[in-house]
Structure 1
Amino acid sequence: MLEVALRHRFPGPAGFMLDAAFTAPAPGVTVLFGASGSGKSSILAAVAGLLRPREGRVALGGTTLTDTAAGRFLPPEARRCAVVFQEGRLFPHRSVEGNLRYGLRRAPRGAEGPGFEEVVALLGLGPLLARRPGLLSGGEKQRVALGRALLARPALLLLDEPLAALDMPRRTEILPFFEALRDAARLPMLYVTHALEEADRLADTLVLLQGGRVQAAGPLEALTARTDLPLLAARRDAGVVLRCELAGQERGLTRLAFPGGTLLAPFPEGPAGRHIRLRVRARDVAVARAGAPALSTDNALPAVLQGIEPAGERECFLRLGIGPSILLARVTLDAVRRLALRPGETVTALINAVGGERG
C-alpha cells in the first residue's frame, strides 16, 4: 500500500498550499491527474524526498519514508525511489549501454529485479546500445531513461510527466512500452500527467488534483463513471473506461467483450483474449426506447436507465447499466422530455462511435 498525506505551504506572498492525502494499492500504477499547478509534481517530489513537507507522512508497504510527527525523514538516496523526468537526463558522454549499466550499478546489493537483457528486450533497446544520447529521438531517450531507472531496482518508480516533452507521434510510439512495463514488472509506480489518454492507458488508481487538494481517488473505471467530478465530467471527451477483451472478428470488425456485453469496433485484429482499455465517450452514446427499429450503428445494447444527472443548463448525463458495467450518455434535457425517460426502465444504448484503443 502506498500512503501519502501532506500539508505544505510554499513561500511567497501567494504561497501555494498543498493539502493532499490518498492511499493506493501496490504494486500498481497510481496516476496523479490535474492541470498544471495543481500540486502533482510537488507530491512526487515529497515522495522522492526532494521536498521536505511541513507536515505529513509517506509510507510504502511496511517502510515509512516520511513522518514529520515522529521526526522521520529518509534522505532521497535511502528511499529506493527511481525518478524519470520530462527530459531523459542521460549522460551525454556514455552510450545507451553505459547509461543502462550505470542504473544497474546503483541497484542495492541483493535487490531483486529484471536483469540487463530483460530490460533491453522489454523496452526494445537492442539496436540502440552503441549510440550516444545525442543521436536518439525524444522517445528513444525516454525509453533509455526508463530502462536505467528500472535497472536500479527501485522499490517505487516515480514518473514526472515523462511524455510531456514529446509530440503526439512520439507519445504514441512510447506508450506501449510503458504498458509493457506496467504488466511485466508489477512494480509500484507513481505517474504524473495532465494527459487523459495516458491516465486511461496506464492507471490502476486515479488521483484527481485541483488547487493542491485531492478531489477524488480510486479505481480508474469507477472515477470515469462519476458525473460529479468536473475534472473529468466537464470535458468534451468525458466518458467511461471499459476493460475489454478481444473476442474475434465479425463482419470485418473486432468484437470487444466487457462484463455485460460486447462492442464491435474497427480495431486491427489481435490475438483472442488480449485485454485492452476503451474510452466510450458520453457524447457518442444515445438512447432509444426498447424495441426501436434496426439502425445503422453496429452497437445497440439493452440497458437499464439507472439515473438522470445534471450536465449544464440544457444537457444531462444518463447513467446506463449494462450488466455490471456502466455507460454514460450525454443528451439534451429536451430529449429526456420527448422520450419521457424515467430511472428504472429498460432502454437501448446506441454507441455511435468507439474511442481509440487503449492498451
Structure 2
Amino acid sequence: MLEVALRHGFRGFALDMAFTAAPEGVTALFGPSGCGKSTVLNAVAGLLRPQEGRILLDGEKLLDTARGLMLPPERRRCGLVFQDARLFPHMSVAGNLRYGLRRAPAGAAGPGFEEVLDLLGIAPLLDRRPARLSGGERQRVALGRALLMRPRLLLMDEPLAALDAARRAEILPFLARLREAARLPILYVTHALDEVDALADRLVLMEAGRVLAAGSVEELTARTDLPLAARRDAGVVIPCTIAAQDAARGLTRFDFAGGSLLAPLNPEPVGTRLRLRLRARDVSVALTPPEGISMQNVLPAVLRSITPTGSPHEVFLHLAIGETALLARVTRDAMERLGLTPGLGLWAMVKSVTFDHARGGA
C-alpha cells in the first residue's frame, strides 16, 4: 500500500493533501491543470523534496521530513512514464528495453523480456529507433522499459496527454491490460475523465492543492456535490459483465446489479467484465412504461432524491435500479410537470452508453 501526506508551498501555490493507494491496481490523481497532481507524483518519485511530508510504500518509509529521511530516487524503485517517452534516441527499441532490464535489482521479481513484448505488442518494433515510432508506440516502449526495471510502484504522469485521439485510442487497451497483468500499485496522473473510466480502480479528486474526495470511481461519479457533476459528461460509472452477443442485430447485452442494458456490439467475448458510463444528460424518466420509442433501455427505478445541478433550470434525479445508482439530468419544468418527489417509482430511459476497455475475464 502507498501512503502519502504532503505539505509544500511555492510561487503562491500551497499543497496540503493526503491519500492512500491500494497494493494493486490504478489510483488516479484527477483534477484541472495546476492543481498539484504532478507535484505529488514528483514527491513520490523522489524528484522533489517537499517542505513537510511522509510517504510509505508497503510500510517502508520513502520520505519522513520530521526525521530527516528522504530516500534517493534510485532506492525507491519507482518506474516512471512521462508525457514524452524520454527514450534514448541513439538506441533501438531493444536497446532501450534492455537498459531498463539492466537497471532491475538482482533477484527482483517482475515480468520477463518476452512477457513485456507480448503484453505491450512491441515485438515488431525491436530494431527501430525512437524517431521511427509513432507517439503511441513510443509510449508503449517507455512503459516496457519502466516495467523491465522491476519497480515496486509505477508512476505515470499524463502519459497520453501529448497524443492525438487516434493514438490515445490505440494505447488505452494496452494500459488496461497492464493494469491487470502488472500486479503493481500504479499512480496515474490525468485530467481526462475517459482515462479514469477506462483505467482507474480508485480516484483521488484534487483541486487547488487539496484532496476534495477519494474513493472508488463508482462511488465518486454518483456524487453531485463534487466538481465532476458540473461537467456536461457527468454521470455514473457502473461495473457490468457482457452477458450475450446478438451479431444479427448488432447489439451486446450488459448485465449489472439491478438489470441489463443493450448497446452497440462490443467485440469482447461473453463473460468479459467492464464498466459503463451512463451520462446523466442521456437519461430521462417517465411515470408509466413508454411505448413506441426508439430507446431500448427502459428500466424500472425508484427516485431517491433530487439535488441541484448548478443551473437554475435543471436538477439531478438520483435513481436506484436495484442496487445500482443512476443519475438523470432533467429540467425543473419536467420535475414540476411530472410531480417528481423522492420515493416515487419511475421508468428510466437510457439513450446511450459508453464503455471502457475490458477489465479481465469473469
Structure 2 length-normalised TM: 0.96
> Following superposition of structure 1 onto structure 2, how do residues 8-19 of structure 1 map, counting pairs within 5 Å?
8-10=8-10, 12=11, 15-19=12-16
2:199 maps to 202
2:297 maps to 299
Change (3 A) 1:269 1:176: closer
1:321 maps to 320
Shift of 1:356: 4.4
Shift of 1:324: 1.1
What do residues 296-351 of structure 1 show as CA deviations (whole Å, max 9, x unaligned)? Answer: 21000011111101112111100111111111000011111111111112111100
What do residues 277-306 of structure 1 show as CA deviations (whole Å, max 9, x unaligned)? Answer: 211100000011144435321000011111
In 2, the alpha carbon distance for the partners of 1:133 and 1:334 equals 57
Residue 240 (structure 2) pairs with residue 241 (structure 1): no
1:19 match: secondary structure: strand
Change (3 A) 1:179 1:87: same
1:5 maps to 5
Shift of 1:252: 3.1
> Following superposition of structure 1 onto structure 2, how do residues 16-165 of structure 1 map, counting pairs within 5 Å?
16-165=13-162
2:276 match: secondary structure: strand
Shift of 1:132: 0.8
In 1, the alpha carbon distance for the partners of 2:265 and 2:334 equals 31
1:249 match: secondary structure: strand
Shift of 1:24: 2.2
Question: Partner letter of residue 233 of structure 2?
Answer: D
In 2, the alpha carbon distance for the partners of 1:55 and 1:328 equals 40
2:335 maps to 336
1:134 match: secondary structure: helix
Q: Which aligned segments of 4 or more residues in structure 1 are displaced greater than 3 angstroms?
A: 290-294, 356-359
1:100 match: secondary structure: helix
Unaligned regions of 5+ residues in structure 1, if any? none
Q: Is 1:279–1:358's contact at 8 Å kept on the other side of the alignment?
A: no
> Following superposition of structure 1 onto structure 2, how do residues 195-234 of structure 1 map, counting pairs within 5 Å?
195-230=192-227, 232-234=228-230
In 2, the alpha carbon distance for the partners of 1:223 and 1:168 equals 26
Question: Partner letter of residue 343 of structure 1?
Answer: P
Q: Is 2:250–2:265's contact at 8 Å kept on the other side of the alignment?
A: no
- How many residue pairs end up in the alignment? 355
> Following superposition of structure 1 onto structure 2, how do residues 242-281 of structure 1 map, counting pairs within 5 Å?
242-250=238-246, 251-281=249-279
What do residues 45-100 of structure 1 show as CA deviations (whole Å, max 9, x unaligned)? Answer: 00001111111111111111111112211111100111101111101111101100
For residue 285 of structure 2, the aligned residue among 280, 284, 287 is: 287
What do residues 215-262 of structure 1 show as CA deviations (whole Å, max 9, x unaligned)? Answer: 1111111000000002x1000000011111111124431001111110
2:203 match: secondary structure: strand
Question: Partner letter of residue 159 of structure 1?
Answer: M
Q: Is 1:246–1:271's contact at 8 Å kept on the other side of the alignment?
A: yes
Q: Is 2:173–2:357's contact at 8 Å kept on the other side of the alignment?
A: no
Q: Is 1:240–1:327's contact at 8 Å kept on the other side of the alignment?
A: yes
Q: Is 1:33–1:209's contact at 8 Å kept on the other side of the alignment?
A: yes
Identical residues among aligned pairs (%) = 65
In 2, the alpha carbon distance for the partners of 1:96 and 1:210 equals 38
Unaligned regions of 5+ residues in structure 2, if any? none
In 2, the alpha carbon distance for the partners of 1:352 and 1:49 equals 47
Which has the higher mean CA deviation after the structures are superposed, 337-346 or 141-150?
337-346
In 2, the alpha carbon distance for the partners of 1:193 and 1:5 equals 20
In 2, the alpha carbon distance for the partners of 1:180 and 1:70 equals 39
In 2, the alpha carbon distance for the partners of 1:93 and 1:291 equals 66
